[in-house]
Amino acid sequence: MNRAIEIAINIVFWVLSIGISTQIFSVNIVEVDIQIRNGHQIEREIITDLSQWYFVGMIWKFLLFYLIVLLLIPRFFRSSQYLKFVLLLVCSMLLAFALEILPLQLLQEGLSPSYLSTVIIMLGFYTSTALTYGIIRNQIQKERYAQVLTTKKLQTELKLLRSQINPHFLFNALNNLLSISERSGTPKVSAGITELSDMLRFLIYDTQTDWIALEKEVEFLESYIALQMLRYAEEDDIEIVFEVQGI
């Protein structure tokens, strides 16, 4: 997953989840104050808005979310330490719950049951979302790492194969064959040895870099075509059209 896309998805998730949950789970504490004045009972409702505490609690949910995604799953779940993972997950959830209700416990005489249920529901929602997102993210990273290992393995095997073939020995042998063919008066054989030498030089040396000049690629194709044409006689009705433009 592209890093920028992942960050954008996270931002959209938090904006939407905070906005929607604020509308659904807005909680107020309603208290009834009963006073008796002049022999008459007077009731007055006192409404305490808990919206500000909800946003304070979002800080702990946010930290819990990325604790699961960035630490618990990569370090313990990925390494199959499931017991440690579950224990740390439960402890983290309890700690987040305690930190969210502690300020209200200190400032209020009691906590509203509706607010406690809201805290538990939202804590469960963010925990389950973090687990789903973290496990999927972990699987994608494992597959990407496996692809990198496969690529490195192939590169290592190719380098090993090249190291087992001594280039100097091959080129010296080709030069000897070229000298023999020229003394024997066989121009087609000489041309074939020359083209083969150019192709081997390209495969052994020019492909070692990350970037290969297009001109060298074209020269390799031309050598390959010339080498293949040696298989046919001049009177054979074979025509190969190979045009290069823009180089």
Per-residue pLDDT 10s for the chain (247 aa) are: 578 888 899 999 998 888 877 766 555 544 444 555 555 555 544 444 556 666 777 888 999 999 999 999 999 998 889 999 999 999 999 999 988 888 777 665 456 677 788 788 889 999 999 999 999 999 998 998 899 999 888 888 877 776 666 667 777 788 888 888 888 888 888 888 888 888 888 887 777 777 888 888 888 888 888 888 877 777 777 777 778 776 6
Give, in degrees to the nearest 5, the angle at Cα 149 between 146 and 154: 125
pLDDT reported for residue 66: 95
What was the pLDDT predicted at 202?
84
Reduce the DSSP state of residue 124 to 3 states and report it. helix
What confidence score (pLDDT) does residue 2 get?
A: 76
Q: How many residues does the chain have?
A: 247
Spatial distance between the Cα atoms of 145 and 152, rounded to a whole number of angstroms = 11
pLDDT at 127: 95
CA angle 224, 228, 232 (to 5 degrees): 160
Q: Which amino acid is at 86?
A: V
* pLDDT at site 72: 94
96 neighbors 122 (Cβ within 8 angstroms): no
The structure's pTM equals 0.56
* C-beta of residue 111 within 8 angstroms of C-beta of residue 31: no
